[in-house]
Amino acid sequence: MEDIVLEIFTDIPQHGQRKRLKTRDGNDTGEGSKPIKRVRGKRGLLKKLVEMPVDILFEIFSCLDPLDLVYMARTTRALRALLTGPSSKLIWKASRSNVFGLPDCPDDLTEQQYAVLMFAKMCMFCQRDLSIVHTSFYARVRCCNKCLKMHFTQMSGPPSSWEHQQDYPDSLSDWIPFIKVVREGNRKGVATRHETYFISSRTVVRWRSEYVALETAQSQDSWLERTLEGQYAKANHSRACDLWHGARQKQTEMSEIFERNTEILQHITEAGLLDDFYKVSPMHSISDLWDAENLSGPIEPTTFDNLKITITAEVSRRKQNRKSQEKRGFLSRRKDILSQVWEDGVQTLPIDSPYPCRPEFYCITESYNLVDYSKTAKDALLVPFVDVVDLWRKHVDDKLLGLIADECGPDYAFDSSTVFDLATTFFVCTQSCHSVNSISVRPSMRHVQALMHRCFDWQTLSIATLPEGGLEFRVVFGYPVWYDVAGCVEFRAEDLEVMQKIVRLCDLDPAVATAREMDELDPIFECLACNSASDGRATMVWSAVLNHQRLSHVSDFVNIDALRILGDPEASTVRARIKEVQDRIKHQGNYFNFVCPICGTPKPVGNFKGYLSHLLDIHGISSAKYEELVFAANQICIPPMYRLWPPLDVNERGEVEEPKGLTAPGKYPEPESNIP
């Protein structure tokens, strides 16, 4: 490839003989005529350069980079002769020493050839400056895509896999100069990588001719030893060049980033945004601004108009982040005192009393300035804890009353003092934070469960659904309060309609019937439409009807024609077995609503295992009686549906034969039991 490199110095534009100038009267300017001196631009400035003393000229050239010398050698014939002559070696060597870390010039290249290989950006064949030029320091060549296919042989594998008539030892096959081209892409979402090898067939031909020309085996062995030694040296030198080139590229990229950052800072200063930007932005992230705009090249004033919008938006966003971090720190500093005040206050409440969670307690006390954070936790609360609970309960009850009024409108008249006690009042969590029969549903909740709803303990919400400041609450406290998230808890008119029908089936007035009355009556309902030959009969308590309709009859939610009241003794059997299912659920490891009756506080101590540990560690009791178990007030107390066996009979038309135990609403006859 050495001859290819030398051609770059000989490619100087050749100009033909210029035409003779004419005077204004039309006559040619001959030799006797006075020449007209016309200098255009900077032409002719290099003419006197070669007339300088040689030692001074050499000193100047020694301060240039090798690439500058390459360009200088291609300007005029005089400079080319000066920089390619025998005495120019010291100039090139001194210039090369200006580049930090550059490997020494190899023995197979001159200083000029080495400078072209390492620094010139053009293709060595067509001598064009292109954006994509493949470089192989081992092959001593830079080549564009077009010339690569013209001067190299394409292979699908490395040179050692090339099958040809080589006429030289096989040990040289692994040392054939080549260029590896890697093309990476994305095809239908799958990353692709294709490697193509281009080998130097010119080198192969030269090796073949040299080896065949040797007549004796001794001379061939000597030639092979010299050739292998030369290829070893090339390989070692090329590895050093690759390392240097990679480090230089990295340094160049960092320099470009620094220059671009400096330029952006200048524009930020001119726009009057420097003070704000330094408050919110670290220096190393300035490049994010121009990366977002996909800018390349110098930033012109017109280009900066678009960049200014990005900078303003970035400054605003980072200001918001700074405020958010300050608020998190503010909340975190207060959380320790607040948590201790909350813990001490909950211990003073009755065992069945509802109470606010930590975020709610913080919001209430902050709104009314009820906590003095300059004092210790013992004296920080300025009012009794029960007064804070009353304020919280009134606040949340107003939210729940607003849900009812907004959903039903003026057509539904209710007494705000008694509406929460009605059997028809149920709320629903839209976050699907509970499960019924291992199936995730939106569970129905009574008043106390909605009052103390805690779905955010384990439910992750989208940041977009959180109110202002809600993200900080979630980070510091673990979860926000439900009534600060729009649509988390709802009151639905269709739920009210279904429950009014259920209460009427029990011969009660839905306008005044309370949930306590329905619990005392404890009717068991059966859904004839859900009778299954493999699973059995679908039975449930009255409060589980909404969950059943939502899970199994969502397309015809308000239609309860398939529901019937089950009579004894089947109803008694179902009640007993549903209670067993409830007890089994409560004793599972993921049920954390056990309350200690000895402590007498409403805060749960954990699951059943944790409750036993609490009794042993705190009270020295090694066992617990089942009838003494107490559960938290906010537990979801609606039991799941129970499948009673055997199933109902089905006639030839596929219709369920109603059993004798299912009668008119409110009547409980004594049918013949089909339960052994």
* HEC per residue, 171-192: HHHHHCCEEEEEEEEEECCEEE
First to last CA, the chain: 100
**Binning pLDDT at 50, 70 and 90, where does residue 456 land?**
very low
Query: Is pLDDT above 60 for 578?
Result: yes
Buried b (16+ CB within 10 A) or exposed e, 321-347: eeeeeebeeebeebeebbeebbeebbe
Contact indicator for 285, 320 with CB cutoff of 8 Å: no
Question: Amino acid letter at 184?
Answer: E
Query: Is pLDDT above 70 for 505?
Result: yes
Rounded Cα distance between 28 and 460, Å, is: 92
Which tops the pLDDT comparison, 283 or 37?
37
Query: Is pLDDT above 50 for 62?
Result: yes
Stretch 160-168: mean pLDDT:
64
For residue 352 the two structure tokens come to 């069945």
Cα dist. 168→155, 174, 207, 212 in Å?
20, 12, 7, 8
Query: Is pLDDT above 70 for 287?
Result: no
pLDDT score recorded for residue 86? 81
- Using N-to-C axis directions, what is the helix angle for 77-84 and 2-10, rounded to 10°? 140
**Per-chain mean pLDDT for the chain:** 78
Which tops the pLDDT comparison, 424 or 484?
424
Q: Residue 613's CB: how many other CB atoms inside 10 A?
A: 13
- Most confident of the ranges 181-185, 366-370, 530-534: 530-534
Rounded Cα distance between 26 and 631, Å, is: 118
pLDDT score recorded for residue 425? 95
Q: Which residues pair with 134 in a beta bridge?
A: 143
DSSP string, 542-585: GGGHHHHHHHH-GGGTT--TTEEEEPTTHHHHHHHHHHHHHHHH
Residue keyed to tokens 């692709």? 192
Q: Residue 86's CB: how many other CB atoms inside 10 A?
A: 5
Contact indicator for 495, 428 with CB cutoff of 8 Å: yes
DSSP string, 335-367: HHHHHHHHHHHHTTS-TT-----HHHHHHHHHH
Q: Cα 241 to chain center, whole Å?
A: 38
**Binning pLDDT at 50, 70 and 90, where does residue 676 land?**
very low
For residue 385 the two structure tokens come to 């804890």
Q: What are phi and psi of 422, to 5 degrees?
A: -70, 150
For residue 305 the two structure tokens come to 């108009």
pLDDT score recorded for residue 437? 41
Task: Map out the domains of the chain as residue ranges.
Answer: 1-16+41-120
Rg (CA), the chain: 45
* HEC per residue, 422-478: ECCCCEEECCCCEEECCEEECCEECHHHHHCCCHHHCCCCCHHHCCCCHHHHHHHHC
pLDDT score recorded for residue 483? 64
Rounded Cα distance between 544 and 538, Å, is: 11
Rounded Cα distance between 478 and 480, Å, is: 7
- Most confident of the ranges 308-317, 598-607, 628-637: 598-607
